[in-house]
Amino acid sequence: MKILIVGGGMGGTILANNLARRLTTELRSGKVRMTMLTASDRHMYQPGLLYLAIGRMTPEELYRDQASLLEPGIDLHVDPAEEFRLDKNEVKTKSGKVHGYDVLAIATGARPTPEEIPGLAENSEQFYTEETAVRMFKRLQAFQGGKIVVAMGVPHKCPMAPLEIIFMMHDYFRDRGILDKVKLHYTYPIGRVHTLENVAKWAAPEMDRLGITYETMFNVKEVDGAKKVVRSEEGSETDYDLLVSIPAHRGMEVIEKNNLGQRGWIPTHRHTLNMEGRSNVFVLGDTTNLPISKAGSTAHFEAEVIGENIAALVRLGAPVREYDGKVFCFIEAGKDRATYAMFDYQNPPQPRAPTRAVHWFKVAYNKLYWASARGLL
């Protein structure tokens, strides 16, 4: 049986290692072969970008060699997929190689697309790539006072990031002793400050307490860099001295080009995680069209379900488990306090007031991630 995993990020790596552990015997005997195609020889811990943008992590801390994270028996090719020939059970790569498969898993992730909003890419700072996060940190460092506006597009990876960045900037400027010269203004697309009602109930009074102003029902339509104004779809506008944006995302171009899903979101069955209509294709992580958070924990929980099911396909000929929509997200509430939200399709989250203990757990997880990706946690 040939297993092909496309994408070596959080979802792909956790899935490959999970399978390698479950199928050690079959991999050794040659009954099963596992191949991973990915676009980079380095693996980035993306949640670290938030800390990079605020000067609390450095770029090299975000990376490990992809090969070093994989269990033995996984045949890694840094050679991105270009053509998905699902009817023939084949994927063709950039180098021209064709990989056949019996089971395919797609975990190619998502990309920020600031260029879709007029003026946004040129006039805002972002932290969703290494380059933009470093640039944002330099802008924050040079900032001596004025109005900072946070604005976002939908959908975006890590729905907690907008709140985290505003609270972290607050503490950053307080530590620099210039908070009285900085006005922080937060905008959000729906009628409260966060999509999770309980988080919004805690975050709005927290913003009031810290002097952070906010405007809800604000979906960015355009940015006028000359006038330094952001305008919303809803007809309002706000001026800024420094604009921090969380751009809307799309799935990868290769997904769109191969017509696997509109805007790169692959139609995925919410419980089996099969690509709709394809029982030998699984989809996980940010590239699914599922109505759940685009977060590392989502990719992780999905990888565990798919790992168990592919192993069951090898051994029993049928899948054994369903995904229940589980997501777990930390929420940084400043530089030294955090809370978390855990939920699934049936059970809404009940986040508690932020504590120092949860913050230190997240800081620890920033290191433990590498063990988690290897399948050791």
Partner 1 sequence: MANRKTIDARGSFCPGPLMELIAGMKMIAIGDEIEILSSDKGSANEIPEWLRKAKHEHLGTEEKDGVWHVLARKTH
Q: Where on the chain is the footprint of ligand FAD (CB under 6 A)?
A: 6-12, 37-40, 46-47, 49-50, 80-81, 107-109, 127-128, 157-158, 161, 252, 254, 285-287, 294-297, 299, 329-330
| Count of residues touching partner 1 (by CB under 8 A) | 31
The alpha carbon of 82 is separated from its chain's Cα centroid by a whole number of angstroms, namely 22
Q: What are phi and psi of 133, to 5 degrees?
A: -70, -40
Q: For tokens 């195609």, name the residue.
A: 37
Which of 8, 189 has the CB closer to ligand FAD?
Answer: 8
Q: Interaction with partner 1 in 166-225: which residues (CB under 8 A)?
A: 189-191, 195-197, 217, 219
Find the shortest distance in angstroms from Cβ 165 to ligand FAD.
9
Binder of residue 5, out of partner 1, ligand FAD, none (CB less than 5 to 8 A by kind): none
DSSP 253: H
Which stretch, 53-61, 80-88, 151-159, 170-178, contacts partner 1 (CB under 8 A)?
Answer: 151-159
Find the shortest distance in angstroms from Cβ 238 to ligand FAD.
23
Which stretch, 18-26, 48-56, 204-212, 289-297, contacts partner 1 (CB under 8 A)?
Answer: 289-297
Which of 76, 333 has the CB closer to partner 1?
Answer: 333
- Identify the residue among 29, 259, 346, 357 touching partner 1 (CB under 8 A): 346
- Identify the residue among 128, 143, 330, 343 touching partner 1 (CB under 8 A): 343
Binder of residue 264, out of ligand FAD, partner 1, none (CB less than 5 to 8 A by kind): none
- β-strands 242-246, 146-152: how paired? parallel
Q: Interaction with partner 1 in 228-257: which residues (CB under 8 A)?
A: 233-235, 248
Find the shortest distance in angstroms from Cβ 130 to ligand FAD.
10
Binder of residue 349, out of partner 1, ligand FAD, none (CB less than 5 to 8 A by kind): partner 1
In sign, the C-alpha dihedral spanning 263, 264, 265, 269 is positive
349 binds partner 1 (CB under 8 A): yes
Structure tokens at 286: 């940010």
**270: alpha, beta or left? (left if phi > 0; alpha if psi -120 to 50):** alpha
Binder of residue 191, out of partner 1, ligand FAD, none (CB less than 5 to 8 A by kind): partner 1
Find the shortest distance in angstroms from Cβ 195 to partner 1.
5
Distance CA 37, CA 377 (A): 24
Binder of residue 86, out of partner 1, ligand FAD, none (CB less than 5 to 8 A by kind): none
Burial bucket for residue 209 (CB in 10 Å: 0-12, 13-18, 19+): exposed
Residue 162 contacts residue 192 (beta carbons within 8 Å): no
Distance CA 172, CA 335 (A): 8
Distance CA 165, CA 227 (A): 25
Which of 6, 149 has the CB closer to ligand FAD?
Answer: 6
Rg (CA), the chain: 21
Structure tokens at 90: 């084949």
Distance CA 341, CA 339 (A): 7
Structure tokens at 29: 């005997």
Find the shortest distance in angstroms from Cβ 346 to ligand FAD.
20
Structure tokens at 6: 């496309």
Distance CA 57, CA 305 (A): 32
Element (H, E) at 67: none
Binder of residue 348, out of ligand FAD, partner 1, none (CB less than 5 to 8 A by kind): partner 1
Structure tokens at 35: 């191949």
Of 110, 81, 104, 83, the C-alpha closest to 278 is 104
Binder of residue 376, out of ligand FAD, partner 1, none (CB less than 5 to 8 A by kind): none
Binder of residue 41, out of partner 1, ligand FAD, none (CB less than 5 to 8 A by kind): none
115 binds partner 1 (CB under 8 A): no
State the SS3 of 254-279: HHHHCCCCHHHCECECCCCCEECCCC
Return the residue nearest ligand FAD (CB atom).
9
Binding site for partner 1 (CB under 8 A): 154-155, 159, 189-191, 195-197, 217, 219, 233-235, 248, 262-263, 270, 291-293, 325, 327, 329, 341, 343-346, 348-349
